[in-house]
Amino acid sequence: MPGIESHGEFLRHAVLETVIPHATDIDIEGALSSALEEGAEDLSEVLSSIPQRSLLFFDEFVNARIVLRLSNCSEHALKTRLPRLDVRLDAFVVNPVDPNTEGTAPTRDLIFSGVVGENEDPLVVVNAFEGDEGKGNHVYVIWKIEAFLNRPRVRIQYPSVIFTASATLNPPKVSEHNNRDDRYLQSLVPASSNVFEPLAADPSLSTESPFLPASRLLRVVPAQHTEEPIYNIQQLTEHPTRIVPAASARIRYSRLNSYSSRPTTIASLDFEVTPFLACEVVLDQAKLDLSDGNVETLSDIPGLSLPITCRPRDDVTLVYKLTPEYGPDPNPSTTAMVSTLDIALSGVINLSDDCRPKISMQWRTNVDFSLPLNPTFGGPSQVLQRNNRPASLPMLPGQAGLPPSIPPSNRSSLRERAYSTTDLGVTISFSGPVSVEVSKPFYWDVFIVNRSGIPRKFAMTAIPRRKRPDPRKHVARPSSASATSRKEDQVAEAVTDDNIIHAMQKTAAGQDAELISLSTDVRVGPLLPGTCHSTELKLLPLATGSLHLEAVRLVDVNTNETTDIRDLPDILAFERKRI
């Protein structure tokens, strides 16, 4: 049996395919062996015997199988080259081309990209046969990878998912120690020819034979092979599979219409099963985590305790009480108290007895705990009417017999979040780490909500703060040219004063930015009225101490209206201690 011994010939006749089995726990080795025993030869024919999924769901964890078929592969080549093989799986959501539209490419959006782990032990199935050239074999190598199907970033009317696998053979690792000690040519490598070899018979040069290798004069071109080696392959066939959302979730907030020493918000979490399913969905986990507060479940009653079995079109609402760890701010007109809320949901779809796919939803949002207005301030009386009368008035702690605000308990003096409302009709919040390391990038999470009545599209840039020159650093002194009396000697004043040049040089020094932004162009939108968007700003600290940005500039792309946001989180940079 001919074996594959060349490094580049390992993947020459290899074929890649992707399988999404219908059964969650499937014996794929037994399915392949039974298909091969029945006489299946082509890879697609072998894999067709395995029942596969015909419908997938967004937010689902899919156990995919990547199958690599090698031809005439020896056991030695398989053991030495299989650990150096990198296998990748990409999943795309596509919109099939409309038959009425010709010459247009389908919409394609990447929703998953992953690499098979180094510790993943593949399954190997060998099928030996006798062909026209003698005995040969087909080696089937199967990897298992878990893919999470994210929701696409573009709107697709009839979405389908396509899985594409690829494999790359890395070169062998050569030890540097061996290369440094081995100064001889490798075995069976021809040496360079001698250009002075015809002068070896000259009697005048009988003492020494002249030698000059041709490699010193000519560029050595490696021998050209008829076929180049193959070090990577890609899946050639595409099998579109329909994909739909199994469930949708949203959260709503309502502030209690009563004043207390601590602001309290009621959160309603809705979990709705879409009508695309004809089976049950079991909601087995619903977790809320408030960054600076406590979450209390108000729906822990019989019938709403997890797990909850839902049918198509069912809408389950879970109610939570959100209470921050800090009291209301004594000056609510200038400061807004915003906390971050992390939401995580998971469930199981009961498609059949042997197919139970899992779905998971996770997102982050902001909760505004600003001081509520006075609910006892009623409407205007019939005796006195006034235009532009507010519906209610703010009531501060300590007034009208109200309890004073509770001092912050676990709240640091450094702010991790900042919340602002712009004139463009949007609210924007920034959150990030307070302590950062010098020369190590970090991220700010930016959350924007469009509260205006029109769609918005923004461009965001961070403006670094530079040191402003201090005019008190330099004291004006009379120049050397003015030491003598100009009136008596009738000497004109100097065109350029050396004190002025010295002052300009002093003010020009120290203009380097201590905090720079690595996100040069951040685009947000288009945002419809009432929608939100989350993005990131990547920053790099270059000095120790308290660092600040001059502002974050928000530019409306449609109207070119500019707003500078100066209320930003605090940053404290430090140097890493070297051991």
Question: pLDDT of the chain along its 579 residues, tens only?
Answer: 444 455 667 787 888 999 999 888 888 888 888 877 776 667 777 888 888 899 999 999 999 999 998 888 888 888 888 888 889 999 999 987 654 455 556 678 899 999 988 778 888 888 877 665 657 788 888 999 999 999 988 888 889 999 999 998 887 765 544 555 555 666 666 777 787 787 777 777 766 777 877 777 765 555 554 455 667 888 888 889 999 999 999 998 887 765 556 778 889 999 999 988 888 999 999 999 988 888 999 888 877 788 899 999 999 999 999 888 765 555 444 445 678 889 999 999 998 888 999 999 998 888 877 665 554 444 444 444 445 444 444 444 444 344 444 344 344 456 677 767 777 778 888 888 888 888 888 888 888 888 777 888 888 888 887 655 554 444 545 555 444 444 555 666 656 667 777 777 666 555 567 788 888 778 887 888 877 788 888 888 888 888 888 888 888 888 888 888 888 888 888 887 665
CA distance 488 to 484: 9
For 256, list phi and psi in degrees, rounded to 5.
-65, 135
* 85 is a domain residue: yes
> CA nearest 264: which of 319, 301, 302, 305?
319
Claim to verify: residue 234 and residue 277 sit in the same structural domain: no
Residue 189, Cβ density class (10 Å: 0-12 exposed, 13-18 middle, ≥19 buried): exposed
pLDDT at 396: 45
CA distance to 117, 286, 413, 428, 494, per residue, from 343 (Å): 29, 8, 27, 20, 72
pLDDT at 102: 55
CA distance 557 to 569: 25
Claim to verify: residue 545 and residue 565 sit in the same structural domain: yes
How far is C-alpha 344 from the geometric centre of its chain's CA atoms? 18
Claim to verify: residue 103 and residue 167 sit in the same structural domain: yes
Peptide bond before 372: cis, by omega within 30 degrees of 0? no
CA distance 317 to 457: 33
Of the residues 346, 368, 390, the one at which a domain ends: 368
Claim to verify: residue 322 and residue 359 sit in the same structural domain: yes
Q: Which two tokens stand for residue 153?
A: 């970033």
In this prediction the pTM is 0.59
Claim to verify: residue 26 and residue 53 sit in the same structural domain: yes
* 275 is a domain residue: yes
Which residues make Cβ contacts (< 8 Å) with residue 267, sequence separation at least 6? 251, 252, 253, 288, 319, 320, 321, 322, 341, 367
Claim to verify: residue 24 and residue 88 sit in the same structural domain: yes
Domain CATH for 356? 2.60.40.1470
> CA nearest 417: which of 291, 552, 553, 543?
291
Of the residues 303, 337, 368, the one at which a domain ends: 368
Claim to verify: residue 141 and residue 30 sit in the same structural domain: yes
H or E stretch including 177? helix 176-181
* 294 is a domain residue: yes
* 395 is a domain residue: no
> CA nearest 90: which of 148, 23, 25?
148
CA distance 168 to 173: 15
pLDDT at 406: 39
pLDDT at 392: 46
pLDDT at 460: 84
The two beta strands, 134-148 and 60-71, are antiparallel
Claim to verify: residue 148 and residue 279 sit in the same structural domain: no
Residue with tokens 């038959």: 99
Give the bridge partners for 382, in sequence order: none
State the alpha helices, DSSP H only, in 26-172.
28-37, 43-47, 75-81
Claim to verify: residue 343 and residue 428 sit in the same structural domain: no
The two beta strands, 571-574 and 435-437, are parallel
* 321 is a domain residue: yes
* 491 is a domain residue: no
Peptide bond before 541: cis, by omega within 30 degrees of 0? no
What is the number of domains present in the chain?
3
434 touches 574 (CB < 8 A): no
* 336 is a domain residue: yes
Instruction: Give the per-residue SS3 of 378-429.
Output: CCCCCCCCCCCCCCCCECCCCCCCCCCCCCCCCCCCCCCEEEEECCCCEEEE
Q: Count Cβ atoms below 10 Å from residue 451 Cβ, excluding itself.
A: 15
Q: Which two tokens stand for residue 164?
A: 């594409």
* 532 is a domain residue: yes
Domain CATH for 431? 2.60.40.10
Claim to verify: residue 23 and residue 151 sit in the same structural domain: yes
Tell me how far apart the terminal alpha carbons of the chain are, to the nearest angstrom: 58
Which residues make Cβ contacts (< 8 Å) with residue 377, sequence separation at least 6? 390, 391, 392, 393
Of the residues 343, 368, 393, the one at which a domain ends: 368
CA distance 481 to 394: 66
The two beta strands, 426-431 and 442-450, are antiparallel
Claim to verify: residue 49 and residue 169 sit in the same structural domain: yes
Give the bridge partners for 148, in sequence order: 61
How far is C-alpha 544 from the geometric centre of its chain's CA atoms? 28
Q: Which domain holds residue 160?
A: 15-173+230-242
Claim to verify: residue 302 and residue 422 sit in the same structural domain: no
pLDDT at 161: 93
